[in-house]
């Protein structure tokens, strides 16, 4: 109960930050201590949480690679970032996480750049009220939110491990999850029902994709520990914020609930502090090693 009250009040914890702190505040004191040549790869950084995370990391001197399905929107994000931070290095690469071929092409293009990879933020996600399929005939939400990031992480994992080994800077993999994963019960984790238009439930499909993401994080964490790799992976529930995915739940009931809860919702800048905190820990770990 105390923790909930502290969260609602925005009171600072042991770290000196609270739920009302922003990404800029969390990273403000670390920018002069950051190692040079850090590279962060962020999927879905054309709006919302991803775009704000890219902006703050670029402002702190991190090279940012944006993986985006819509390069036009990605260019707009880059222009805004470079207008605020003229020396920011922002690289755009096209990726459709629902397509295995696109993910493989993206990874080949990124690896060809021969850049280090210190931070991977698997942020992109989608929600659909209607049953859709990817080009591989997989339910679209599961393909985009889970399988695409699964393949991306698998193909770039050795690069992250190698970068950490060469630089001594602990690598970070962050998967954006959701507390909605807890809505999936053992009896409800069913792929067959998702493939039937009559039984399709967009919220359940989204919840299942996020549960799969968390299970993936647990398994990769086990493998990294077994290999004694200097890389960590975490699943992060950013809190409730009205991003593009939430806006997809349009309707009288949803809009009414968000109006009532508006005082409890966090801004995108406040939500992004969770990802920025990993950057702070990276630079602290570097200077302590």
Report DSSP letters for the chain, one per residue.
-HHHHHHHHT---TTS--TT--HHHHHTTTTTTSPTT-EEEEESTTSHHHHHHHHHHHHTT-EEEEEES-HHHHHHHHHHHHHHSTT--EEEEE--TT-HHHHHHHHHHHHHTT----EEEE------SS--B-TTS-BHHHIIIIIHHHHHHHHHHHHHHHHHHHH-PPEEEEEE--GGGGG--GGG--HHHHTSTTT--HHHHHHHHHHHHHHHHHHHHHHHHHHT-SEEEEEE-------HHHHTS-SHHHHHHHHHTTTTPPPHHHHTHHHHHHHHHHHHHHHH-
The partner residues of 39 in beta bridges, in order of sequence, read 63
Selected catalytic residue, list 7, 127, 146, 200: 200
Q: Is 146 a catalytic residue?
A: no
Which residues carry out catalysis? Answer: 200
């Amino acid at each position: 109960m105390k923790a909930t009250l502290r969260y609602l009040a925005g009171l600072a914890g042991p770290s000196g930050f609270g739920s009302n702190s922003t990404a800029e505040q969390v990273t403000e004191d670390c920018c002069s201590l950051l190692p040079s040549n850090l590279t962060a790869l962020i999927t879905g950084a054309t709006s919302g949480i991803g775009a704000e995370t890219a902006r703050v990391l670029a402002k702190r001197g991190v090279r940012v690679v944006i993986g985006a399905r819509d390069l036009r929107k990605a260019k707009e994000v880059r222009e805004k970032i470079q207008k605020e931070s003229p020396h920011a290095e922002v690289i755009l690469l096209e990726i459709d996480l629902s397509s295995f071929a696109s993910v493989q092409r993206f990874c080949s293009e990124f690896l060809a750049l021969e850049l280090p990879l210190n931070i991977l933020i698997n942020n992109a996600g989608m929600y659909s009220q209607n049953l859709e399929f990817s080009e591989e005939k997989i339910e679209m939400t599961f393909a985009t939110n889970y399988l695409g990031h699964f393949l991306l992480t698998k193909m770039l994992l050795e690069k992250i491990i190698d970068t950490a080994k060469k630089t001594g800077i602990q690598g970070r993999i962050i998967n954006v999850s959701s507390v909605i994963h807890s809505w999936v019960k053992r009896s409800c984790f069913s792929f067959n029902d998702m493939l039937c238009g009559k039984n399709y439930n967009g919220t359940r499909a989204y919840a299942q994709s996020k549960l799969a993401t968390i299970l993936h994080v647990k398994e990769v964490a086990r493998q990294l520990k077994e290999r004694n790799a200097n890389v960590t992976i975490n699943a992060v529930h950013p809190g409730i914020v009205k991003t593009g995915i939430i806006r997809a739940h349009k309707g009288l009931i949803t809009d009414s609930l968000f109006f009532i809860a508006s005082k409890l919702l966090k801004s995108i800048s406040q939500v992004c502090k969770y990802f920025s905190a990993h950057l702070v820990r990276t630079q602290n770990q570097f200077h302590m090693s």
